[in-house]
Amino acid sequence: MIHSTHGLGEIGLTGIKQTWNPSPAATLEMALARGEGKLTQGGAFLAVTSPFTGRSPNDKFIVKEPGSEDQVWWGKVNRPLEVKYYDVLEADVKAYLNTKELLVRDLYAMATNERRRLNVRLISENAWHTLFAYNQFIRPYPADLADFEPSFTILHAPEFHPDPDRHGTRKPPSGPTAVIALNFARRTVLIAGTRYAGEIKKSIFTALNYLLPLEGMFPMHCAANVGPQGDTALFFGLSGTGKTTLSADYKRGLIGDDEHGWGNSGVFNFEGGCYAKVIRLSAEAEPEIYATLSMFGTVLENVAMDDESRKLDLDSEAITENTRAAYPIHFIPNYAASGMGSHPKNVLFLTADAFGVLPPVARLTSE
């Protein structure tokens, strides 16, 4: 467990105990001992994130501060949060986290040169969420951890529910409150009130959606793979349209399954892992992804399981239709280790329901 010289005291956090960058096995031991989830028949870790079993876009805010205010397209998607409310929220989340045993995970985003990559630090009250992040982001070498300095910090308090009157957050008609707040001035993300781990990865994707265009690079929600001749293909589409499945074609190298950038030198993955939707997944149709469900270290979210046999029911929507598996990209045998590809030769748009505008797979001319 390697502790960075850039500690939590720099941002006013101590916790009652800190555990830094534990191995996947040690992290799983902690998660199981804390009752955060269960082991499955195949050896993967399973967590249930109810009541939030998907992302909560209506609870996502960007702090409206002078440095970024003129760069953001404010509206229903980019909801503003006033600085005065954010300050109180951050202080309250830190006070809450200081009463907890904290897990700290240092990681990279962007498979590109050292100068451009984003140093991400996740500070969580839960062990399993840090294993999710370890699977999803790019893992530093141990030698890089001792002097790791974060360029973005995620304060993760899934059991802390914000007060809409005090914190300026949304007041839902029923159920618990949650908030995801990005502050570009402080390079901080606050995630509170939701256990759904997808908020962790998407918060950094949101940050890169803001940062990269300012540097002349294009952030993309897509999968990417590369053929034997070096031909790169991109797969765009909403969740469940087949990006992960198609990009994992065993005849081609998997660059990444969800989030990429496109710059002067080509395409690069933001992540070091995959976050696959596994509802009705089959060994026959998707053997590479199916195999990851029985690999030690894979994190499953909201998949139905028989408590006695620990056998998964991939067809069940008992918890949610949005069942997920998070695993390091090297669990897919044909992954591209560099996480990079040339300028794409083919761009595919995948649709689950295009209402007659496009067929499920469309080949478009430049016109």
* 156, 201, 202, 252: the active-site residue: 202
Structure tokens at 208: 């890169």
Q: What is the pLDDT of residues 252-267, one digit of tens each?
A: 999 999 999 999 999 9
Is residue 311 flagged as an active site residue?
no
**Residue 287 gets which letter from DSSP?**
H
**Amino acid identity for residue 344 in this structure:** P
Is residue 170 flagged as an active site residue?
no
* 194, 241, 258, 298: the active-site residue: 258
CA angle 361/364/367 to nearest 5° reads 160
Is residue 258 flagged as an active site residue?
yes
Q: What is the pLDDT of residues 221-258, one digit of tens each?
A: 999 999 999 999 999 988 878 888 889 888 999 999 99
Is residue 324 flagged as an active site residue?
yes
* 239, 316, 345, 351: the active-site residue: 239
Is residue 202 flagged as an active site residue?
yes
Q: Give me the mean pLDDT over the 121-146 stretch.
A: 97
* pLDDT above 90 (res 320): yes
81 three-class SS: strand
* 49, 244, 245, 320: the active-site residue: 244
Determine the pLDDT at residue 112: 82
Q: Share the mean pLDDT of the chain.
A: 94
Give the dihedral of Cα atoms 214, 217, 220, 225; nearest 10 deg: -160
Q: Give me the mean pLDDT over the 319-346 stretch.
A: 95
Contact residues for 80 (Cβ-Cβ < 8 A; gap 6+): 61, 62, 63, 64, 74
How far is residue 342 CA from its own chain's centroid?
24
Domains of the chain: residue spans and CATH: 8-43+55-215 (3.40.449.10), 218-362 (2.170.8.10)
CA angle 152/155/157 to nearest 5° reads 160
Query: Tokens 């309250």 correspond to what residue?
Result: 92
Query: Tokens 């990209």 correspond to what residue?
Result: 329
Query: Tokens 């501060």 correspond to what residue?
Result: 65
**C-beta separation of 131 from 7 below 8 A:** no
Is residue 243 flagged as an active site residue?
yes
* 3, 6, 221, 345: the active-site residue: 221
* pLDDT above 60 (res 354): no
Is residue 55 flagged as an active site residue?
yes
**C-beta separation of 277 from 322 below 8 A:** yes
Q: What is the pLDDT of residues 75-114, one digit of tens each?
A: 999 999 999 999 999 999 999 999 999 999 999 999 987 6
Structure tokens at 162: 């914000």
Distance (Å, rounded) from C-alpha 167 to C-alpha 180? Answer: 12
* pLDDT above 60 (res 356): no
Half-sphere exposure of 16 (CA within 13 A, CB side): 5
* 139, 243, 252, 260: the active-site residue: 243
* 40, 55, 177, 206: the active-site residue: 55
